[in-house]
Amino acid sequence: MSARPLLIELFTEELPPKALRRLGEAFANAIVEGLRTRGLAGPAGEHRAFCSPRRLAVRVDGVLHEAPPRRVEVKGPSVKVGLDDQGRPTQALLKWAQKVGADPSALARASDGKQECFFHASEQAGETLAGSIDALLAHALARLPIPKLMEYQLADGRTHVSFVRPAHRLVVLHGEQVIPATVLGLSAGRSTLGHRFQSAGELLIPDAASWAHVLERQGRVIPDFDTRRARILALLQTEARSLGASMGDAAQVESLLEEVTALVEWPAVYVGGFEDEFLQVPQECLILTMRTNQKYFPLFDDAGRLLPKFLIVSNMAVDDPSLIIDGNERVVRPRLADARFFYQQDRRTRLADRVPALDSVVYHAKLGTQAQRMARVRRIAAAIAGRLGADVGHAERAALLAKTDLLTGMVGEFPELQGVMGAYYARHDGEAPEVAQAIVEHYQPRFAGDALPASTTGTVLALADKLETLAGLFGIGQQPTGDRDPFALRRHALGVIRMLIERELALPLSWLLGTAFDAFEPAAGAGRPALTEFILERLSGWLRDRGHSPQEVAAVIDQRPDDLARVPQRLAAVRAFSALPQAQALAAVNKRIGNILRKSGETASAGLQEALLTDPAEKALAGELAALAPEVDRLMAAHDYTGALTAMARSREAVDRFFEQVMVMADDPAVRANRLRLLAGLHALMNRVADISRLSA
């Protein structure tokens, strides 16, 4: 029978919206994989995944009714075991031949890679679609990334099944033919249902190819997720343009768009509004409640100010949407009123007056309360501000108030607004603008790619807050393991790295970690070595993600740089050095010297005795080293790392001649030790910027 399209649809109750796309893709991929494994679909066969709030489906083109026969080869006994000394079949071979249904004389002989063995080849009939569909469906459903299973009872009143949501119908069509299939207590047919309210009723699907067309024309369902998403976005943009407005932050719009696409099957967009008086509330509060609670798209003017209008993505396309709009406006008003109430109530208590209450908020069982934590942050922030020449008073004041908005009604209702509301309340209380800004900025960067604090005080407080978290949790042995990172320590470490590098802060890592651990009990310092390694590992990954090669990164990070702000300059120097014609030879020599020194135990160059330099080649190398050292010192002091490495490249000729003409491990112990000290000095000078042996091919 010729290949035809296969359509499988599982019709359910409303599926979890945040997991819908993943469920749809996983269902389709598992079905396609099962078909290809059984030889029922070719590796290049086109397929299309579908998912809507009430269905998971896949259409696979070019599916066979029966897979082609396949050749099966079975290995039997070795020739040594299967034949006796006269070359006659042994009992072992005869029994095996009988088992596979073959005459011993018809068996093939071939090597299995180790010895010569007997083989039996046969042709087996391919699997049929009808015969394998139940197993294929069961396997596909078992592999779905279901957030939480739901157990429900079937219509017989006795049988219980488990799935993400109750399933009601199953469609399995191969071309025009219904393939008998059973899963989750359902038997396959050709009927499905469309939109919950606007469909023409039960829909009969004539064949697999017309399923999507029937659903859209008769069922008022757009089954393809991306098509539905594109339709919603176009409708939103049209309405926003008609009002001379925009929808705001693109990332927020994308996230909400993905979610509402999973909530509707036949989208329509309407404009709602609310009273201007609510705009007295900080717009972040109104935006959050509209997007998070109501799934509305707030609208903004050209200056980014919130307008008293929003867009509703409805699942009902009607000629007169007034009831839908009115209903949504009546729902959102109490939410906005709650936000206004919290805002008004919160401002009655100054942030400074909330500080004592932090004593009753537990931060961590082993690390004390939020009040104790912020005392540590305050101490660290003061030290960092002093080192940077920033305003210590502002840093300490911001640290004192930074977490007090956690005690407000607004942040209690909307935790996502922590810091944001603190800044609003600080301004209301008359705090210095730098303090208010630092309160909101100290959470930054919140995620990969997020903006860094813009102010100096905000940067100081953000560093102090993240370093206190890292030092405290590493101090009690709570570092991340595997994929588990419940305290987001990887994010905190990357935040510290980004601030030091992107803001070019002259703050040694060793000093920062020492300051952070000093804010705790002495025992906490036990976690310092592990935290240092953790930060350097995060730095390595961050640099590789930005296009630096593993060799370049290793060359710099293996030297355990303390001034992270200078790491990009070191990397640039390494890249420039790598392009020099002498680079590979010097990298190889550097590696060779390192191996010699490790074996000999020599680590220092002090005490080089010129009287023991007898060979012209070693004298030349010592002279080259003496000339280069002050020049490299000067270039390093000026942070001209490229110049320092380029200067080192001039030593190649002297180095090559030394290794060609000088026996390092001389018989005379004094001469040998002197030559090792010479190499140790050269090695140290070469690696002032980076471990160039890492560049050796």
User: Using one digit for the tens of pLDDT, what is the confidence trace for 303-338?
Assistant: 999 999 999 999 999 999 999 999 999 999 999 999
Both 138 and 169 in one domain: the answer is yes
Whether 334 maps to a domain, the answer reads: yes
pLDDT score of 678 more than 70: yes
Asked if residue 555 is part of any domain, the answer here is: no
Both 410 and 461 in a single domain? Answer: yes
pLDDT at residue 237 in the model: 97
At 603-650, the pLDDT tens digits run 555 678 888 888 999 999 999 989 999 999 999 999 898 998 888 888
Burial level of 52, CB count in 10 A (0-12/13-18/19+)?
buried
Query: Predicted confidence band at 520 (pLDDT cuts at 50, 70, 90)?
Result: very high
What is the average pLDDT value for the chain, to the nearest integer?
A: 92
Query: Tens digits of per-residue pLDDT, 164-185?
Result: 999 999 999 999 999 999 999 9
Same domain, residue pair 374 and 461: yes
pLDDT at position 206: 97
Task: Identify whether residues 59 and 80 lie together within a single domain.
Answer: no
Q: How would residue 586 be classed by pLDDT, with cut points 50, 70 and 90?
A: confident
Identify whether residues 119 and 249 lie together within a single domain: no
Same domain, 326 and 267: yes
In a domain, 35, yes or no: yes
My answer on whether 137 and 120 are in the same domain is no
User: Are residues 526 and 499 located together in one domain of the fold?
Assistant: yes
* Whether residue 108 has pLDDT greater than 70: yes
Share of the chain above pLDDT 70, in %: 98
What is the distance between the alpha carbons of residues 569 and 353, in angstroms, rounded to a whole number?
47
Does some domain include residue 552? Answer: no
- The least confident of 123-132, 224-233, 280-289, 469-478 is 123-132
Please tell me whether residue 170 adopts helix, strand or coil conformation: strand
CA 523 to chain CA centroid, nearest Å: 33
Sign (positive or negative) of CA dihedral 404, 407, 408, 411: positive
In a domain, 603, yes or no: yes
pLDDT, one tens digit per residue, over 555-579 is 999 999 999 999 999 999 999 888 8
* Across 514-539, average pLDDT: 89
Please report, for the chain, how many H helices and E strands are present, in that order. 26, 19
Q: Does residue 593 register a pLDDT over 90?
A: no
> Residues 444, 533: one domain?
yes
The Cα 280–Cα 340 span in angstroms is 8
* Mean pLDDT value across residues 357-378: 95
Examine the fold and report which residue of 346, 367, 385 is the final residue of a domain before the chain moves on: 346
CATH of residue 150 = 3.30.70
E strand or H helix that includes residue 606 = none
Distance between CA atoms of 127 and 40, rounded to whole angstroms? 8
The DSSP-derived string for 345-391 is: HHTTS-HHHHGGGGGGSEEETTTEEHHHHHHHHHHHHHHHHHHHT--
- Of 469, 460, 509, nearest to 492 by C-alpha is 469
Percent of the chain scoring above 90 in pLDDT: 73
Residues 489 and 572 in one domain: no
CATH code for position 359: 1.10.3210
Beta bridge partners of 412: none
Give dist(CA 467, CA 395) in Å, integer. 15
Structure tokens at 124: 């087996």
Q: What is the pLDDT of residue 392?
A: 97
Distance CA 580, CA 643 (A): 12
What is the distance between the terminal CA atoms of the chain, rounded to a whole angstrom? 57
Query: Which residues have CB under 8 Å from 71's CB, separation 6+?
Result: 121, 122, 123, 124
Residue 153 pLDDT > 80, yes or no? yes
Instruction: Provide the residue range defining the domain that includes 313.
Output: 225-346
String of DSSP letters for 519-534: TS-GGGGGGHHHHHHH
| DSSP for residue 452 | P
What integer pLDDT is reported at residue 603 of this predicted model?
58
| Domain end among 189, 217, 245 | 217
Residue 558 lies in a domain: no
pLDDT greater than 70 at residue 428: yes
Residue 291, pLDDT > 70, answer yes
Structure tokens at 486: 């419940």
CA distances from 597 to 333, 629, 653, 681, 682 (A): 76, 20, 21, 11, 11
Q: Quote the number of domains for the chain.
A: 5
The predicted pLDDT at position 524 comes to: 66
Alpha carbons 552 and 573: distance in angstroms, whole number: 10
Residue with the larger pLDDT of the pair 157 and 371: 371
